[in-house]
Chain A
């Protein structure tokens, strides 16, 4: 039995969190509540954070960046005109899980979602016998030699933010601060293996700060799944490319479902910078070996440890093809056909 608080204001929510280290935040609930229902996790108290004015809607900041409230629902991203130029972001948000989940799930909850693993997320009968780090044990069943939990981070939205060079805004009792998106996932430690994000317990994510659309340029997002709905990405790739004339002047690449945090690919971004758009497909072909180095050989119920790694270059090529396609962002979903599932020579 849990007590669920639903504070009426953001300030009150922060006060409650500050006063009670046992309070767990819930927003859309689509990440947390399934685990509570499955009894994989339990809390005495939850703090339901409503869509507060400070965490809702989108607005342009004085410096030209676009603020996207943490409470924006994933499906809403396709309905907000200001977000239309951010093709990869909308594509990622609108391909998460299933239609219903995207109507409930918040964009903030998406980038703060818990890492997953076929052992812990299997079922309570398994987890409660084979205690891994998340269950209070001292072993990672993925990587038995590891001193920390190595569960996979499968957010679709997070890799896009990193490819964009976006930041997030959080608010705590002392006020607001900004964290570059790639730094949000830097606080992995063995002591507290759950929800390892660079947020203090008494801080609430209020939103995402996107660089102005013209600075981001064109962007694409591809995710590899077996089914068109419900599936988390087996691996995904976000690509953002700013051009002057035809030449790439800034590039960001980030893989999702590639390790304990989104995996940026700066070597790839450097290789693309200075090239003409038409040269990107060939350049991506030459980056398979480098791309593979960015991917942890994580095993799940669909893939063995190495296939994920081997597919990185293929996914980068797909992201380039998507970027250059006149239908960029319009594809209903990106699926692994039997051919694409074949082992890489």
Chain B
């Protein structure tokens, strides 16, 4: 049965450090909340079925797929998207490393990869190769062949260590 009026519900979600209170349809997906209600279109919607990682955001410190999560499931929580990663026009070292290592081609997968990398490095600033592969295994890239992405993570780790910077 198609209903014309959605059941609206109020959510309070901290998005990139800013608290947002919104009245939204209760069945809204988190990815659609971010893209349509917050105009944060950096987070991509690829498969919509938890099989590609393009929609990865960081929820309370953990990388999750925003395409298979309802916005109400993030109520009261803190979401970080690709838009929150850089400091104004200054790119985050992970973003710089992705550019420098040639880890970005069409770029559709990149926001997801960067969010997964950031969640990993926040917890584990010097991950082993197998830990990187595990944390990024849930992100697919159709263009690069992955080696450049692994190189980018290593480069980011090295640079951040050198500069004593935290993810």
Contact = CB atoms under 8 A, between A and B. Distances in A.
Contact of B26 (A4, A30, A100, A104): A4
A38 B62 contact: no
Interface residues of A, number: 28
* A48, A100, A228, A332: most-surrounded residue (chain B CB, <10 A): A100
B2 interface: yes
Given A38-B49, A44-B1, A230-B51, A101 B27 contact: no
Contact of B69 (A29, A44, A46): A29
Contacts, number: 99
A332 B70 contact: no
Given A75-B62, A98-B53, A99-B135, A3 B68 contact: no
Given A1-B2, A100-B56, A332-B134, A30 B50 contact: yes
Contacts of A2: 26-27
A6 B8 CA distance: 12
A101 B75 contact: no
A34 interface: yes
Nearest to B128: A332
A37 interface: yes
A82 to B, nearest CB: 21
Contacts of A97: 50, 138
A103 interface: yes
A230 B137 CA distance: 8
* A2, A5, A228: most-surrounded residue (chain B CB, <10 A): A2
Contact of A4 (B65, B68, B72, B138): B72
Interface string B30-72: 0000000000000000001111010010010011110111101
A289 interface: no
B106 interface: no
A195 interface: no
Contacts of A30: 50, 65, 68
Contact of B116 (A1, A4, A99): A99
Given A3-B27, A75-B62, A98-B53, A34 B68 contact: yes
Contacts of B59: 103
A229 interface: yes
Contact of B134 (A5, A34, A99, A101): A99
A1 B3 CA distance: 6
Given A33-B69, A100-B56, A101-B50, A3 B26 contact: yes
Give the 5 A-B CB pairs with smallest separation, nearest first.
A98-B138, A229-B137, A34-B49, A4-B26, A3-B7
Interface of A: 1-6, 26, 29-30, 33-34, 37-38, 44, 46, 48, 75, 97-101, 103-104, 228-230, 332
Given A100-B116, A332-B133, 16 more contacts: A4-B72, A30-B65, A30-B68, A33-B29, A33-B69, A34-B50, A44-B3, A46-B27, A46-B70, A48-B73, A98-B50, A98-B138, A100-B56, A100-B65, A101-B138, A230-B138
